[in-house]
Structure 1
Amino acid sequence: MTKENLILLADAYKYSHHKLYIPGTQLIYSYLESRGGKFNETVFYGLQYFIKEYLEGVVITKEKLDEAETTLLEVFGRNDVFDRSRFEYIINKYGGKLPIRIKAVAEGTVVPVRNVLMTIENTDPECFWLTNFLETLLMQVWYPCTVASVSREIKKVVKQYYDETASEAAFAGIDFVLNDFGFRGASSVESAGIGGSAHLISFAGSDTIPGSVFAKRYYQAATAPGLSIPATEHSICTLLGEEGELDIFRHVLNTFPTGTIACVSDSYNIFRACKEYWGDALKEQILSRNGTLVIRPDSGDPVQTLLAIFNILMETFGYTVNEKGYKVLPPQVRVIQGDGISYSSIPPIFAALKEAGISAENLVLGMGGALLQRVNRDTQEFALKCSYAEVNGQGINVQKMPVEMDKNGELRTSFKKSKAGKLKLVKENGEFKTLAVNDAPELPDLLTTVFENGIVTQSHTFEEVRKTVAI
């Protein structure tokens, strides 16, 4: 795979910073944190991908420098901004490897917001400008962290309703309750790979194959962690028109006589499909299968549609009552809701099922755009800020502390206030805390060096990440 030209992977204004830092600057030390946002804790995941894909090994070459110089002269229209000699120094002294040290918490760790997650600093005083030059690229770790956080928060909701309504035997399938349907709605193949793999650290169901590819390529997953099943789409179920829908359904069952298969059933009338086709004409074939038919509605209000569908299916197929007192369809029949699924819509769905006496184990979910695309850097308020510097041999604690005006015209300190000094992440009495690096020496720093001078010094397997993030 041809790597991107790292010299061109920064915001344009950063190419002037080698001149704008005060003369005598030798060290810039910056840290990453989630300053707040939608959830009160954040899953740290994805840095290993960015390091292996963009930073590891020889990344600065004469050929890339030539390309970058041409582009940057065009961008700025002047020759006193981009300084080629800064990158030539890295080529001549380090063979094109980056004199940078990155420390980070173990991937998969769930950390309360407003704590340090990662630090970055230059290891050569001549390359003080390089630390925050890399901010543009490394800040993009917000994306896999946020997708991983959304996915895990949904798993907490699922687990809550399983604890309340599902049979103990059903817990074996909890990793397949939320399925990633987001590939087509992702902004790029790379996004689908990064975000898709982030989902897979908490769940195992996915139609986004790049997620599995990334997990294997960058996290040494032994096998594809994202699993799927045969399933129809509307182009299949509408091919013979409304009058031929039953024949299509029968063909689906005949094609896969065993195992789990999903069939979209709302092409015309989902309620007729459940009552007359699945629940009558094909009922005996379904109940005699060694496998499960997953019926998929794809339109309408999710709560009302699901309640109506479950009433029909339980009337036609029957049900048992589990040890917690909730109704369960025969194992040959389940339902998947893939339309309108988001973090906010899932709790009302499960709550409505519980209120109706229906176990959560009857339903699985598919989530598309809301999983991989309806997030941004502000979902968890990610920021990377300088907190320490050395100028002419003197250490300086660096901090921003903006004053802002609220809607009443009163002044207050902004939530964007940053941390000062060199930092460490510790656990004290079971709680994460960010401290100055020299404070509480008896508490070990949970930030470990993962990259130094072009070399990956520590990496995590996908299985290790899954164990770390587990609820």
Structure 2
Amino acid sequence: MKNLILNTDSYKASHFAQYPQGAEFVSSYIESRGGVYSETLFFGLQAFIKEYLATPFTDADIDEADAIFTAHGVPFNRAGWEYILKTYDGYLPLEIQAVREGTMLPTGNVMVQVINTDPECAWLTSYIETALLRAVWYPTTVATVSKECRNIIARYMDETAGNTDGIEFKLHDFGARGASSEETAALGGAAHLVNFSGTDTLSGIIAARRSYGADMPGFSIPAAEHSTITSWGKDGESDAYANMIAQFGGEGRLVAVVSDSYDIWNAIDNIWGGELKDQVETMGGTLVVRPDSGEPVEIVPEAIERLMVKFGCRVNAMGYRVLPDCIRLIQGDGVNAASIEAILEALKLRKISAENIAFGMGGELLQKVNRDTQKFAMKASAISINGQWRDVYKDPITDPGKRSKRGRLALIRDNEGFRTVRESDLGDRTNELVTVYRNGDTLNQVSFDEVRARAAQQ
């Protein structure tokens, strides 16, 4: 699936013959036109450039594309692709500008702009839309959802704990198995790691390392699943739990144990808070109890209250109750931005600090997003014909929300925040769009630490 010529929509193959005579350059842009959130956390373009645009296509790729498009029933611009192969050694003659990754950008602003660099390839700008838009909207949307969750958690930690210590481990990525592909898990998993350091999505770690030079951007702990508990049998539930402490407990260590295989209340009241209470309190680390069924807004407060009955609690400086350091809870079922807020609000009403809980988020984090979550689009905004630039735009009377921008664009930042302007009106102001790709070269690369730092500042 790495043939870049085939990484497009079928109808794109015929577009080379649809532009006006004399067309030399086409300029297009990507924006979030609105959506669930008023801002987006831009991330993921560098990974696409390194994975797809930094490798040239070949004669074999052209032959494959020719055969497939011809059999498929659409024309193939073989001459155009052969020209690129001969003139640019198979690298795409494009220039891509983008806002710095990690930037929180209000919707309605240009975040990426692309233009062909060779007047013989005016058709190429739009041809890359399918792959480029997909490379931007998905990781950006996941990063945005993850950032919103962090903002919610931070607010409740400030209110109920007086600080946000350890927030980087308050939302754990459980989404690998629910993603539609390994590449989806990799891109989405890396996007989550912009905001947090907890993950079980190894693919996201690899993506952050390979595309952004990260060292070790995410961490996990030993954790039980239902099969490793239920394989001991119902009568052996206590032994299964004791084995987890024996195998993974110790000074400064954390171990998570799913505890609802049979009866979560029995597990809390009589096993963790009864038979194994001494082991939990003396192992030197932290047991993280995991409920995995039921209505989270009801189950989580009840579970923490029961743990406090058995293990006690203290009252922090903000007047909220906190479990002893030896025990905590993680909720990983039914978790999304809305349920995180509902759970934390329910805890707050019971005077329970957000310090007591972490969350695991799976499909809602990596899979339950789409291009319309933030209304992403890539549109042509300018064309040069015989040396004359013209605006290109759409303005459908049936949907003003789909009105597109006109002209070559620039992004500025002033006292009012980010604003999109015409490139010709930039003057001496700094363009926040920087060139990240040109004719096969990856430019102005960013490290994962830079992306994280930029996201954290906003």
Q: TM-score, normalised by structure 1?
A: 0.95
2-structure distance, mates of 1:181, 1:319 = 29
Give yes or no for contact 2:6–2:65 (8 Å, CA) kept in 1. yes
Match of 1:103 in 2: 97
Within the candidate set 57, 61, 64, 1:64 is matched to 61
Structure 1 position 172, deviation (Å)? 2.7
1-structure distance, mates of 2:424, 2:388 = 17
Structure 1 position 83, deviation (Å)? 2.0
Structure 1 position 440, deviation (Å)? 4.3
Structure 1 position 340, deviation (Å)? 0.2
Structure 1 position 430, deviation (Å)? 4.8
Structure 1 position 23, deviation (Å)? 1.2
2-structure distance, mates of 1:419, 1:13 = 23
Structure 1 position 181, deviation (Å)? 0.1
Spell out, residue by residue over 1:119-141, the C-alpha distance to the aligned partner (whole angstroms, 9 max, x if none): 00000000000001000000111
1-structure distance, mates of 2:156, 2:265 = 26
Match of 2:122 in 1: 128
Match of 1:408 in 2: none
| One-letter amino acid of the structure 1 residue matched with residue 13 of structure 2 | Y
> Does residue 79 of structure 2 align to residue 85 of structure 1?
yes
2-structure distance, mates of 1:373, 1:60 = 30
2-structure distance, mates of 1:367, 1:177 = 10
1-structure distance, mates of 2:230, 2:353 = 31
Other structure's SS at 2:144 match? helix
Structure 1 position 367, deviation (Å)? 0.3
| One-letter amino acid of the structure 2 residue matched with residue 388 of structure 1 | A
Q: Percent identity?
A: 48
Give yes or no for contact 1:287–1:332 (8 Å, CA) kept in 2. yes
Other structure's SS at 2:2 match? coil
Other structure's SS at 2:383 match? strand
Within the candidate set 135, 144, 149, 1:154 is matched to 149
1-structure distance, mates of 2:82, 2:235 = 71
Give yes or no for contact 1:428–1:443 (8 Å, CA) kept in 2. no
Within the candidate set 4, 17, 21, 1:23 is matched to 21
Match of 1:47 in 2: 45
Give yes or no for contact 2:323–2:356 (8 Å, CA) kept in 1. yes
Within the candidate set 286, 290, 302, 2:280 is matched to 286
Structure 2 unaligned spans of 5+: none
Give yes or no for contact 2:255–2:286 (8 Å, CA) kept in 1. yes
2-structure distance, mates of 1:233, 1:167 = 34
Aligned pairs (5 A) from 1:350-365? 350-365=344-359
2-structure distance, mates of 1:189, 1:96 = 27
Structure 1 position 67, deviation (Å)? 1.2
1-structure distance, mates of 2:36, 2:86 = 46
2-structure distance, mates of 1:189, 1:90 = 31
Match of 2:405 in 1: 419
Match of 2:131 in 1: 137
2-structure distance, mates of 1:173, 1:293 = 16
Other structure's SS at 2:90 match? coil
1-structure distance, mates of 2:416, 2:313 = 44
Give yes or no for contact 2:249–2:255 (8 Å, CA) kept in 1. no
> Does residue 303 of structure 2 align to residue 305 of structure 1?
no
Spell out, residue by residue over 1:332-382, the C-alpha distance to the aligned partner (whole angstroms, 9 max, x if none): 100000000011211110000000000001000000000000000000000
> Does residue 212 of structure 2 align to residue 233 of structure 1?
no
> Which portions of structure 1, spanning 4 or more consecutive aligned residues, are displaced by more than 3 angstroms?
none
Structure 1 unaligned spans of 5+: 405-412
Other structure's SS at 2:221 match? coil
Within the candidate set 174, 190, 207, 2:200 is matched to 207
Match of 2:4 in 1: 6
Other structure's SS at 1:108 match? coil
| One-letter amino acid of the structure 1 residue matched with residue 403 of structure 2 | K
Spell out, residue by residue over 1:230-249, the C-alpha distance to the aligned partner (whole angstroms, 9 max, x if none): 00000011112221101111
| One-letter amino acid of the structure 1 residue matched with residue 451 of structure 2 | V
Structure 1 position 98, deviation (Å)? 1.1
Match of 1:166 in 2: 161
Spell out, residue by residue over 1:15-69, the C-alpha distance to the aligned partner (whole angstroms, 9 max, x if none): 1111111111111000000000000000110000111111114x23111111111
Q: Bigger CA drift: 64-73 or 28-37?
A: 64-73
Q: How many residues of Structure 1 are paired with residues of Structure 2 in the alignment?
A: 454
Within the candidate set 457, 463, 466, 2:443 is matched to 457
Give yes or no for contact 2:297–2:339 (8 Å, CA) kept in 1. no
Structure 1 position 257, deviation (Å)? 2.4
> Does residue 309 of structure 2 align to residue 321 of structure 1?
no
Q: TM-score, normalised by structure 2?
A: 0.98
Give yes or no for contact 1:38–1:380 (8 Å, CA) kept in 2. yes
1-structure distance, mates of 2:216, 2:138 = 21
Within the candidate set 243, 257, 263, 2:249 is matched to 257
Within the candidate set 358, 368, 371, 2:365 is matched to 371
Match of 2:417 in 1: 431
Give yes or no for contact 1:60–1:87 (8 Å, CA) kept in 2. no
Within the candidate set 167, 172, 179, 1:179 is matched to 172
Give yes or no for contact 2:286–2:325 (8 Å, CA) kept in 1. yes
Give yes or no for contact 1:338–1:366 (8 Å, CA) kept in 2. yes
Give yes or no for contact 2:24–2:387 (8 Å, CA) kept in 1. yes
2-structure distance, mates of 1:16, 1:308 = 61
Match of 1:224 in 2: 216
Other structure's SS at 1:438 match? helix
Other structure's SS at 1:172 match? coil
